[in-house]
Structure 1
Amino acid sequence: MSFAVSVGGRSVECADDQSLLDACLRAAVWMPNSCNQGTCGTCKLRVLSGEVDHGASPLDTLTDDERRAGLALACQARPVSDVELSSPGSTGRATHALQDLVATVLEVSDIARDTRRVLLGLPEPLAFEAGQYVELVVPGSGARRQYSLANTADENKVLELHVRRVPGGLATDGWLFDGLAAGDRVAASGPLGDFHLPPEADDDGGPMALVGGGTGLAPLVGIARTALRRHPDRVVLLYHGVRGAADLYDLDRFAELPELHPNFRFVPVLSHEPDPAYRSGFPTDAFVEDVASGRGWSGWLCGPPAMVEAGVTAFKRRRMSPRRIHREKFTPTE
């Protein structure tokens, strides 16, 4: 059975076992979205009429009072009748339609301690924005895991993922680090997420600070390269925070960028295993040391929640406008 979901003047069909967010994104109706696990609250919206089943919406993200007030998490809620929704900013915003994909593994390579690069070939190009992510279906379980794309939007037939091993992880120890090989077929869906640059017409070419923790570097690679392609002389500082030098990767890639873009700077920062070749401490502190004023800058943060929150504090400390601070938290799956 399916129901009509109305939002921003558009109406889409949503099956009774399908989330509101999934139905809208597949119809290219934009809704705010980030983790798609019910933990971040980005997709919270108001149900103006009709009823929904809140499913697995966590109480710490969607409280009982909010449910009684008609709020819902679009990534978790399913319709039980025709519904009308109010979603902030949904009217008129362009998006790429969510698609189901079957990709072929082209390469699996170890690039750092407990970190792998996975290249997935697609039969047809995937439309996305640099910084978005895809979900992979873990074989034999039906579980889904999210991995950011390290690509720019024109690199749309070979997707690059950076994967860090999670001890005991269903997707990593049970699959991506144990048996995944070139030639394997992988079920996926994408693109997802709002962590990407504004449209080129709205990009003022201002200075940017990007901070990635661990494989939180992945989406920042595509974002930084896209930003520099638009404005080759813009100031871009890219910080990579890891425990030790063994966790760093793609240093050659970042060493080449300043040859074309003299105002680009890549800054590795080691938090637990000092090395005289690199800065020690935390990448958010390194930004505070390097930049006297963040006025006019945009900030981009991706990685563990604690690092992202520290980055928000650091950016505000340097007077960066809150509306220019963008974040993507890597939240663990239960």
Structure 2
Amino acid sequence: MVAVSTGGRRVECEPGQTLLEAFLRGGVWMPNSCNQGTCGTCKLRVLSGEVDHGASPLDTLSEPERAAGLALACQARPLADTEVSSPGDAGRSTHPLRDFTATVLEIADIARDTRRVLLGLSEPLAFDAGQYVELVVPGSGARRQYSLANTADEDKVLELHVRRVPGGVATDGWLFDRLAVGDQVSASGPLGDFRLPPESEDDGGPMVLIGGGTGLAPLVGLARTALARHPSREVLLYHGVRGAADLYDLGRFAEIAGEHPGFRFVPVLSHEPDPLYRSGFPTDAFVEDVASGRGWSGWLCGPPAMVEAGVKAFKRRRMAPRQIHREKFTPAEPG
């Protein structure tokens, strides 16, 4: 066992653990998003010690960057006591990452190729709205990530929205096939940086949230948390899907709108028009609806192409770059 440290915070690192896992399990925050080495969010500088870069992709961490002492925290494993720099406000306390076993309480088909899975916990899981958990697929060793649709106080029954991936190890091979109520599921969490600022720093400004498919899941928890803090704030939530068969939870959003006049839910259909709903792309709908994004915060979750289109739409409406938050859903390779 070796020790890793940053900004005066020191934690133990088990054999085979990555820098990121060691810090998160020790309750020390480090930037993290995909946890697969592809996004570069967790890039940091090694000040002392030595690391094994493992499966760090060259297009995310180049050879010159490695030579300069940079590493991906989610891939690098320390070979000796190691100290790293703290990017931004990294190094502060956070909800510790932990392993847990959950019981399947409910499985419901809620839209085309989409299921809601409720997982019951014996002990509460501390997390922030917008974060995700990682499930272990039985019999394969594969791990898959699913965002939580919960608010932080809904900490004993976790709500996941899962879309079937044809040939997927986790979906076709498990969640849409043999998963049953009462099954035990091995998981770990919380993970991810897609979350609201601390309540003390939340000024109650207007928000726009755009989700593609099941990218809607974390936005549900974020929107409800934001409205609980400031009930009268303006919140626009767009859900982009192919057709009306892919929409879900319309009743839930109608209830939220009834309680909060500043909340509006806007379904947008891209490929199968329906007279009841808007057609096109949710990012374009935002541009049509909002003349200026100054003072707004923007939240994007879904396929990479939609997220990138959303960033462009927000910038087009003069939203401050530091107020643009994103979470990309990239399906795992089929088994």
The letter of the residue matching 1:254 is F
Kindly state the Cα deviation for residue 60 of structure 1 after the two structures are TM-superposed. 1.1
Paired residues of 2:31 and 2:90 also in contact (CA < 8 A): no
CA offsets, 1:40-79, max 9 Å, x none?
1110101111110111111111111111111111011101
Q: Given residue 186 of structure 2, which amino acid in structure 1 is its aligned partner?
A: A
Distance 2:39 2:265 in 1: 29
Amino acid at match of 1:325: I
Q: Deviations over 1:161-201 (max 9, x none)?
A: 00000000000000000010100000000000010001100
Matched, 1:267 2:234: no
- Per the alignment, residue 177 of structure 1 pairs with 176
1:142 deviation in Å? 1.2
Residue in 2 aligned with 1:11?
A: 10
**Gap runs ≥5 in structure 1:** none
1:305 is aligned to 304
- Cα deviation for residue 91 of structure 1 reads 4.8
What amino acid does structure 1 have at the position aligned with 2:173?
G
What RMSD over aligned residues (CA atoms) do the two structures have, in Å? 0.8
- The 1:91/1:112 distance shift into structure 2, 3 A limit, reads closer
Counterpart residue number, 1:143: 142
Match of 1:219 in 2: 218
CA distance in 2, matches of 1:38, 1:87: 18
AA partner of residue 233 (structure 1): S
Asked if the contact 1:29–1:90 (Cα under 8 Å) also holds between the matched residues in 2, the reply is no
Report the alpha carbon displacement of residue 81 of structure 1 after superposing the two structures with TM. 1.1
Question: Structure 1: how far apart are the matches of 2:206 and 2:134?
Answer: 31
Q: Take 2:147 and 2:134, find their aligned partners in 1: how far apart are those partners?
A: 9
Q: Describe the SS at the equivalent of 2:178.
A: coil
Contact 1:106 1:120 in 2 (8 A): yes
| 8 Å CA contact 1:15, 1:79 repeated in 2 | no
Q: Which string of whole-angstrom CA distances, capped at 9 and with x for unpartnered residues, describes residues 10-30 of structure 1? A: 111112301110010000000
Q: 4+ residue stretches of structure 1 with deviation over 3 A?
A: none
Deviates more, 1:248-257 or 1:60-69: 60-69
Q: Verify the 8 A CA contact 1:9 1:91 in the aligned structure 2.
A: no
- Alpha carbons 2:6, 2:91 under 8 Å: kept: no
Query: Which range moved further: 152-161 or 58-67?
Result: 58-67
Offset, 1:94: 3.0
**Length-normalised TM-score, structure 1:** 0.98
Aligned amino acid, residue 180 of structure 2: A
Cα distance between partner residues in 2 of 1:118 and 1:186: 11
In structure 2, distance between residues paired with 1:114 and 1:22:
33
In 1, are the aligned partners of 2:233 and 2:262 still within 8 Å (CA)?
A: yes
Once the two structures are superposed, the pairs formed by residues 111-130 of structure 1 within 5 Å of their partners are 111-130=110-129
Take 1:307 and 1:186, find their aligned partners in 2: how far apart are those partners? Answer: 31
Q: Residue 242 of structure 2 aligns to which amino acid in structure 1? A: R
Q: Quote how far apart the aligned CAs of 1:92 are.
A: 5.3
Q: Distance in 2 between matches of 1:68 and 1:243?
A: 46
- Counterpart in 1 of 2:106? 107
Partner of 1:30: 29
* 1:212 alignment partner AA: G
Letter in 1 for 2:98: Q
Count of matched residue pairs: 333
Structure 1 residue 89 displacement after superposition: 2.4
Q: Does 1:283 align with 2:282?
A: yes
Amino acid at match of 1:135: E
- Contact 2:210–2:283, Cα closer than 8 Å, also in 1: yes
Q: Which moved more, 1:13-22 or 1:126-135?
A: 13-22
Instruction: Tell me, in whole angstroms, the C-alpha distance in 1 between the residues paired with 2:116 and 2:4.
Output: 39
Distance 1:198 1:136 in 2: 26
Output the CA distance in 1 between the equivalents of 2:202 and 2:322.
Answer: 14
Question: Superposed, which structure 2 residues align to 1:176-195 within 5 Å?
Answer: 176-195=175-194
Q: Return the TM-score normalized by structure 2.
A: 0.98
1:192-248 Cα deviation digits (max 9, x unpaired):
001000110000000000000000000000000000000000000000000000000
The residue that corresponds to 1:50 in the other structure is 49
Secondary structure of the equivalent of 1:287? helix
Identity %: 83
Deviation by residue 1:71-126 (Cα, 9 ceiling, x = unmatched): 11101110111111013124553310001010000001100000000000000001
CA distance in 1, matches of 2:263, 2:243: 23
Q: CA separation in 2, counterparts of 1:270 and 1:148?
A: 23
Unaligned runs of 5+ in 2: none
CA change 1:324–1:27 in 2 (3 A) is: same
